[in-house]
Structure 1
Amino acid sequence: MAGNGPITQDWEPIVIRKKAPTAAAKKDEKAVNAARRSGAEIETVKKSTAGTNKAASSSTSLNTRKLDEETENLTHERVSSELKKNIMQARLGKKLTQAQLGQLINEKPQVIQEYESGKALPNQQIITKLERVLGVKLRGKK
């Protein structure tokens, strides 16, 4: 296109129209009616779940029923009472507050409080830090 002169732009609007979707459906309906009039044998099938999510929801209802029937009570493992006592005794032996101990292991005081109350989920890294700072073996055989 080089050398053909300046490029001009055509600013005329272009309108693109789609055919109405009802036209195709009417043709099919007309063909079926014509076939009925001629006496030809016609088999029509109505799809009951066409255009819906009924098939997908029926499988989830089975899963929810299984969950409802599940009787096993699943909970996370919490800090053992022995570990709670060991942490508290070692901290008090070093004359540290929960906040001071938390600062020494670079954790929030709330973490120490959760461990001592037994609400925390046991984390091996935190327990290792506690053992190092307190100088006590908290887990396993003493």
Structure 2
Amino acid sequence: KKTAGAVINMRKLDEGTEPDTPRQIQRARLGKKMSQPDLANQINQRPQVVSEYENGKAVPNQTVLAKMEKAIGVKLRVKIRK
């Protein structure tokens, strides 16, 4: 089974993102009057991927987050200092 885009598991969306990223995604999407399928279409992902990001169940994928940032106009990623 091939997964296009984000790899999903039960780990929280926290590595490389702000703690409230799932809420930020949902608020920004709704603010633009977009449905999950609308956003998914814009970023070339399945609606399930958007749902998993909004529910904090997606493993962060920097490419997907960058596409979401562009589509909804909100900064989602943070720089990780080592």
TM-score category (smaller protein)? 0.7 to 0.9
SS in 1 for 2:13: coil
One of 56, 62, 79 as aligned partner of 1:118: 56
Residue 37 of structure 2 aligns with which residue? 99
| 1:78 alignment counterpart | 12
- Give the corresponding residue for 1:108: 46
1:129 is aligned to 67
Map 1:12-31; keep pairs closer than 5 Å. none
- The AA in structure 2 aligned to 1:134 is I
CA distance in 2, matches of 1:119, 1:93: 22
For residues 125 and 139 of structure 1, what CA distance do their matches in structure 2 show? 10
8 Å Cα contact 1:77-1:122 kept in structure 2:
no
- Mapped to 2, the partners of 1:127 and 1:77 lie a distance apart of 16
Give runs of ≥4 in structure 1 deviating > 3 Å. Answer: none
RMSD (CA atoms): 2.0
For 2:76, the equivalent position in structure 1 comes to 138
Residues 43-89 of structure 1: per-residue CA shift (max 9 Å, x gap): xxxxxxxxxxxxxxxxxxxxxxxxxxxxxxxxx75214411011011
Q: Give ranges in structure 2 of 5+ residues lacking alignment.
A: 1-9
Within a 5 Å distance, the mapping from 1:23-102 to structure 2 comes to: 77-80=11-14, 81-102=19-40
Matched letter for residue 38 of structure 2:
Q
Structure with bigger gyration radius:
1
Count of aligned residue pairs for this structure pair:
67
For residues 60 and 49 of structure 2, what CA distance do their matches in structure 1 show? 11
**Structure with the bigger percentage of helix:** 1
For the 8 Å contact 1:87–1:116, the answer to whether it is kept is yes
